[in-house]
Chain A
Amino acid sequence: MIGKEKLVKIVGAGNVSYEQKTLDEYSKDISFVNAVRPVCVVKPKNASDVRKIVNLANKTQTPLVPVSSGPPHFRGDTVPGIGGAVIVDLSKMKKIINVDRARRVAMVEPGVTFGELIPAAEKEGIRLNMPLLPRKSKTVIGSILEREPVIMPKYQWDISDPLSCVEVIFGSGDEFRTGQAAGPGTVKEQWAVGGVQKAPYGPGVASWHRLIQGAQGTMGIVTWASMRCEILPSLEEPFVVGSSNLDTLLEMISWLIRLRMVNECFILNNTNLAAIFTKKWPRGYQNLKDSLPAWTLFYTVAGYEYLPEERISSHIKGITEITQRLGVEAVKAAGGVSANEILKAVQQPSGEPYWKLRYKGACEDIFFLTINDKLEGQIGVMNELAEKADYSASEMGVYIQPIVQGTGCHCEFNLFYDPGNPSELNRVRGLSNSAVKSLMAKDAFFSRPYGENANMILNRDAATVAVLDKLKKMFDPNSIMNPGKVCF
């Protein structure tokens, strides 16, 4: 156990908390993982503080749980997996270190939220490839390290995008910088010669950033990350296509991405679209939902510096050929929601309260990766399970996000529930467990295993786990980093 005085010496008395109320806040989240109270919460101010904390933790065998985003948390990854843990809350590390228009890259500390980085990037003429409506307290680095899907799949060349480089303090206490940032020279020396921290691969043959992403803080603590950004369009035209036939929309979206004609693009069902855009709760929700098609495909066509109108016009012509072939129509509004309204919303974090909490106060997300061919079957299974669990399938939100330029898609079921209603809560909890099992049987790939179901997911791939175990022993030999998460 790390002594209080040692933590105070590192970060100052005001940045260490043993208050029961504070500890309670970090001991649970909206997910169904068991509540475990940490011993204390420490808020480092910089990488040097982080390094000292990790070194102390190694000496005292103290578990560390890194947290960058603010509450509410949803996935159980920031709730201690075992007792005696120290929460390393990175929310005070809030510097936007660099935004570079010409190289299309930004660099931030872990406490920077989307709401903070978006205006700084826009000022320079660039923007982030965002996840769908992250909560206001969500940090950019938190989202990127979790490999959250992004809404412009055209610009996601690799699943690790938009991550470029990171600085990390491994569980071993060693400092490392990935990709181009590794060197030669310090980051400042690289800047001096005109270098930015953009290229993700290396140093050497490994792609070290891939080991840190998806690890839920089990390999080390990231103290800054750089990320690729995209040019801000000079002109944008958003559209929606509504249909009761998901297959048709999946066919359409795969061509839109294959031909690189659209920027933001995703599919939502009417429940989710209503959950996001209802203005007057609760009455307006059902009215809006009733006005919407079962499925809505949203996309944006954009023009840049040169001849933006011509670019948009040529893409619209190309898209029209697709819509005519498929017998659907691209329009400017679906029911009571306009395409412009959607575009404006998805380029920012969610308004308050967070959209997933508006309907019933809590939400359990079940998400996985899959391919288009299997999606309808998987949605069918989920609908059956929901009805069986006495959870109305029509109340379930569905979000479909093509990933990595069309090589797969993220499918997410959002189970809204009232956390104050124990029977509803238990129904959703049971449904979540049974759904993961049944969906895996239907080839759903749970690439980001969180919470109660992580073991069930990882047990299917013992060979991968065996290799991951070897890597974990190298980078975190004393197993101090977020023990009890992923397969560690």
Chain B
Amino acid sequence: MALNKEVYKEFEDVVGEENICNDPAIMPAYFSTEFAAVILPGNTAEVQAIVKLCNKHKMQFRPICTGWTGMFPPGIILLDLRRMNRIIEINEKNMYAVVEPYVISSQLQAELMKRGLNFCIKGAGTNCTAMLRGHGHMDQTTSGDDRNHLAIEWITPEGDIVRSGSLGSSDEWFCGDGPGPSLRSILTSAVPPGVTPGVFTKAAVKLYHWSGPSAYPVEGISPHYSLSEIPPNMMARYFSFPSVEKMWQAELKIGESEICFELMGFNISMVAANITTSNEEEEETFNRLNKEVQGPGFFVIVVGDTPADFEYKQRVLEKIVSENDGKSLKAVEDPRIEGILMCQCTRISASIRETFRNGGAFNSIPIMGQRDLTIKWAIGAGKAKEPLIEKGYIVDDGGAFFGWGVEQGHLGKTEIFCKFDPGNPEAKAAVEGWQKEQNRRAFTERYFASTMGPQDEIGPALLNYHLWWQKITEALDPNGVSPSGGSLV
């Protein structure tokens, strides 16, 4: 499994002895896989040289950015891109930023907010790379999925440098498409079971205007933070509705009216997770808030560009909520809670609380696309959680799902998860059974097909897309050095 000395030396010549390791005592710190070596390239040229060497020696490699998770065949070389952590450019006038793979989202966002700008941060959290595609809390106004990429610098599995779009023709980052058909069709990133083979070494991402503060006035001592004041022309609220249909109608109208910076369909369990600091407090808060809400709901952040704009947006929001019999959750009207939620849900430190703290692990079914359709499915998936809650296998969240609007409601994301104790095999099996059954139901009832499932079952139902993708990867990677699979945010 380990590299022989001569080959090791070749890689060492590229990155220097301090940036390569094959010590069996150190490598397991990354993931529970037996790597041939871990290599830390510092720039595009070094990545290219390493990929060329991998082809020469027919060795498989896989890059990681910030490494939230990943799947790694044993014996491969891990390219840890942590040294490539530079923000190359923030182009304020043309609304894009160019980043290397290890620029984390909070780092980029902090720089952007100083300039009145913002970008899409993945729901995985603000500590994850700013470069890759994904969905997050702010998708209502910052879009999501693969739609924020502009030009990309890509080392192909054979070690060629491809610079997509305007970058390849005119050395500018503002466009990722053309000349002719767009390589963005295949320059994707982090959605299992496949990722684009090779390594993305730099990417330009779209930026969006930010009318909020350049930095939040945070006060308090960990874990009890709040804002000393609500920033001007900003507001956060949670509204609950008597039915899913009413909630959806309100969400639809809010999108059409373009009044909310963020529309996050938190369930009340997630609100409780976000405003508390311990499991006990969370449980107590959930039980209390659950009595106050009248049904499903969503969290919104309104940001006005001017006082007049803010006032207009507030008034429209009030009208839409009232027309749909929505009710504001009093707890979130408290400026201490409103402020910290506002901060957590724009700086995207919310995800960890929502997913991991209570239970210790979660299994999730996320769906991107048509929000009303996926909500319809999620109602059933939520009901199917109830027996697991009764048996004590999963955390009681009322059988809830969540989701959010994307691009002012044009698209959406819906997700449902079960939080459970990974040390409890019965709970784990029950959750896996629930997940399998709900995916099957989505598939057979034609709601959607989770492409994370078994490819030989799902692929044929989706016009054999998996075979096309396999053909593409084989053509790009004739030596098979860049194996498919893995989620590498």
Contacts and interface: CB of A to CB of B under 8 A. Distances in A.
Contacts of B411: 198-199
A209 B209 CA distance: 28
Interface in B85-131: 91, 93-96
Contacts of B171: 443
Contact of A444 (B170, B195, B209, B461): B170
Interface residues of A, number: 97
Interface string A104-115: 100000000000
Interface string A88-113: 00000000000000111000000000
Contacts of B373: 193-196
B472 A216 contact: no
A102 B462 contact: no
Given A147-B177, A195-B370, A214-B182, A317 B169 contact: no
Contact of B256 (A203, A304, A443): A304
Nearest to A158: B147
B275 to A, nearest CB: 30
Contacts of A444: 170
Interface stretch (B154-162, B276-284, B290-298, B392-400): B154-162
B451 A231 contact: no
Given A192-B446, A458-B180, A466 B319 contact: no
Interface of B: 91, 93-96, 143, 145-147, 150, 156, 160-166, 168-172, 174-186, 188-189, 191, 194-196, 206, 208-209, 252-253, 256-258, 305-306, 308-309, 311-312, 315-316, 319-320, 368-370, 372-373, 376, 407, 410-411, 443-449, 451, 458, 461-463, 465-466, 468-469, 471-472, 475-476
Among the interface residues A182, A408, A461, which one has the most CB atoms of the partner chain B within 10 A? A461
Which A-B residue pairs are the 3 nearest by beta carbons?
Answer: A447-B178, A199-B369, A461-B168
B195 A466 contact: no
A405 B309 CA distance: 19
A158 B163 CA distance: 19
Interface string A371-395: 1111000000000000000000000
Contacts of B407: 157
A446 interface: yes
19 contacts: A159-B177, A177-B463, A180-B369, A198-B411, A203-B463, A208-B465, A210-B182, A259-B209, A314-B311, A315-B309, A321-B306, A407-B96, A445-B179, A448-B178, A458-B179, A463-B161, A468-B183, A474-B472, A486-B181
Contacts of A177: 463
Contact of B253 (A201, A258, A305): A305
Nearest to A201: B145
B369 A203 contact: no
A204 interface: yes
B162 A467 contact: yes
A127 B184 CA distance: 27
B172 A205 contact: no
Contacts of A272: none
A174 B60 CA distance: 32
B305 A259 contact: yes
Interface of A: 102-104, 147, 157-160, 174-177, 180, 182-185, 189-190, 192-196, 198-199, 201-216, 218-219, 228, 231, 254, 258-261, 304-307, 310-311, 313-315, 317-318, 321, 369-374, 404-408, 440, 443-449, 457-458, 460-461, 463-464, 466-468, 470-471, 473-474, 486-487
Contact of B146 (A201, A259, A440): A201
Nearest to A445: B166
B162 A463 contact: yes
B245 to A, nearest CB: 12
A318 B306 contact: yes
Given A203-B451, A407-B150, A305 B368 contact: no
Nearest to A446: B179
Contacts of B448: 180, 184
A318 B188 contact: no
B10 to A, nearest CB: 25
Given A147-B178, A215-B181, 11 more contacts: A185-B446, A190-B446, A199-B370, A206-B472, A214-B181, A219-B181, A307-B319, A318-B309, A405-B206, A406-B95, A449-B179
Contacts of A260: 209, 258
